[in-house]
Chain A
Amino acid sequence: MEFGPILRSLARNKTGAVLIALQIAFTMTVVVNAYFIIGDRQARMQRPSGVAEETLFHLGSAGYTTNYDAVGSLAQDLQLLRSTPGVVDAVAVNQIPLDSSGWSSGAKTAPGNEHQSVPTAMYMGDHRTVATFGLKLVAGRDFTEADVRDRVPNMRGWPDKLMVTQALAAQLWPDEAPQAVLGRSVYIGDEAPATVIAVIEKLQAPWSGWSQVEQSVLVPEKLLWPSVNYMVRTEPGQRDALMPLVEEALATSNTQRIVSAPESMDDTRKRSYALDAGVSRILTVVMVLLVAITALGVIGLVSFSVRRRVKQIGTRRALGATRADIRRYFLLENFIITSVGLVMGAALTVGFNMWTVSALGFPKIDLAYVAGGMLLLWVVGLLAALGPAQRACAIAPAVATRTV
Chain B
Amino acid sequence: MLEMRDVSKIYRTDAVQTHALRGVSLQVSQGEFVAVVGPSGSGKTTFLNIAGLLETFDGGRFLLDGNDTANLSDSARSKLRNEKIGFIFQGFNLIPDLNVFDNVDVPLRYRGFKAHERKQRIERVLELVGLHQRMKHLPAQLSGGQQQRVAIARALAGEPRFLLADEPTGNLDTQTALGVMQLLDEIHAGGATIVMVTHDDDLAQRAQRCVTMRDGAVQSDRARAA
In the bound assembly, the distance between CA atoms of A184 and B158 in angstroms comes to 91
A320 contacts chain B at the CB level, 8 A cutoff: yes
Chain A residues with Cβ below 8 Å from B85 are: 320
Which residues of B, 102-152, contact A by the 8 Å Cβ criterion? 102, 105-107, 109-111, 138
* Contact in complex: A398, B49 (CB < 8 Å): yes
Set B83, B99, B166: member contacting A401, Cβ < 8 A: B166
* Contact in complex: B54, A400 (CB < 8 Å): yes
**Residue on A with the closest CB to B83?**
A320
**Residue on B with the closest CB to A398?**
B54
With known contacts A8-B99, A319-B106, A319-B110, A400–B78 Cβ distance under 8 A: no
* Contact in complex: A403, B78 (CB < 8 Å): no
A12 contacts chain B at the CB level, 8 A cutoff: yes
How near does chain B come to A387, taking the closest CB pair, in angstroms? 19
Chain A residues with Cβ below 8 Å from B52 are: 318, 401
Chain B residues with Cβ below 8 Å from A401 are: 45, 48-49, 52, 54, 87, 89-90, 166
In the bound assembly, the distance between CA atoms of A316 and B87 in angstroms comes to 11
How near does chain B come to A272, taking the closest CB pair, in angstroms? 59
In the bound assembly, the distance between CA atoms of A2 and B118 in angstroms comes to 13
- B57-69 vs A: 1/0 string, CB under 8 Å? 0000000000000
Chain B residues with Cβ below 8 Å from A398 are: 49, 54-55
B81 contacts chain A at the CB level, 8 A cutoff: yes
* Contact in complex: B91, A396 (CB < 8 Å): no
* Contact in complex: A322, B78 (CB < 8 Å): yes
Chain B residues with Cβ below 8 Å from A319 are: 81-82, 87, 106-107, 110, 154
B79 contacts chain A at the CB level, 8 A cutoff: yes
Chain A residues with Cβ below 8 Å from B70 are: none
* Contact in complex: B105, A320 (CB < 8 Å): no
B93 contacts chain A at the CB level, 8 A cutoff: yes
B17 contacts chain A at the CB level, 8 A cutoff: no
A255 contacts chain B at the CB level, 8 A cutoff: no
How many positions in chain B have a CB within 8 Å of any CB in the partner chain?
36
* Contact in complex: B93, A322 (CB < 8 Å): no
How many positions in chain A have a CB within 8 Å of any CB in the partner chain?
28
- A1-26 vs B: 1/0 string, CB under 8 Å? 01011001110110000000000000
- A304-324 vs B: 1/0 string, CB under 8 Å? 000000011011111111111
In the bound assembly, the distance between CA atoms of A133 and B77 in angstroms comes to 79
Among B89, B97, B105, chain A packs the most CB atoms within 10 A around the CB of B97
* Contact in complex: B89, A315 (CB < 8 Å): yes
* Contact in complex: B78, A321 (CB < 8 Å): yes
* Contact in complex: B90, A403 (CB < 8 Å): yes
With known contacts A9-B98, A315-B89, A324–B55 Cβ distance under 8 A: no
**Residue on B with the closest CB to A397?**
B54
* Contact in complex: A8, B98 (CB < 8 Å): yes
**Residue on A with the closest CB to B167?**
A403
In the bound assembly, the distance between CA atoms of A311 and B110 in angstroms comes to 18
Chain B residues with Cβ below 8 Å from A314 are: 93
With known contacts A8-B98, A400-B89, A323–B75 Cβ distance under 8 A: yes
With known contacts A318-B81, A322-B78, A401-B49, A2–B54 Cβ distance under 8 A: no
In the bound assembly, the distance between CA atoms of A314 and B82 in angstroms comes to 13
In the bound assembly, the distance between CA atoms of A318 and B93 in angstroms comes to 10
**Residue on B with the closest CB to A323?**
B74
B178 contacts chain A at the CB level, 8 A cutoff: no
* Contact in complex: A396, B55 (CB < 8 Å): yes
B95 contacts chain A at the CB level, 8 A cutoff: yes
A325 contacts chain B at the CB level, 8 A cutoff: yes
Chain B residues with Cβ below 8 Å from A320 are: 78-79, 81-83, 85, 107, 110-111, 158
* Contact in complex: B75, A322 (CB < 8 Å): yes
Chain B residues with Cβ below 8 Å from A318 are: 52, 54, 81, 87, 89, 93
Which residues of A, 375-404, contact B by the 8 Å Cβ criterion? 396-398, 400-401, 403
Chain A residues with Cβ below 8 Å from B54 are: 317-318, 396-398, 400-401
In the bound assembly, the distance between CA atoms of A385 and B160 in angstroms comes to 34
How near does chain A come to B10, taking the closest CB pair, in angstroms? 15
* Contact in complex: B49, A315 (CB < 8 Å): no
Interface residues of A (CB under 8 A from B): 2, 4-5, 8-10, 12-13, 311-312, 314-325, 396-398, 400-401, 403
**Can you list the 6 inter-chain pairs with the closest CB atoms, starting with the nearest?**
A320-B82, A9-B97, A319-B107, A322-B75, A322-B78, A315-B93
20 example contacts (A-B, Cβ-Cβ < 8 A) are as follows A4-B102, A8-B97, A12-B97, A312-B93, A312-B96, A315-B95, A319-B87, A319-B107, A319-B154, A320-B107, A323-B75, A325-B110, A397-B53, A397-B78, A400-B54, A400-B93, A401-B45, A401-B87, A401-B166, A403-B90
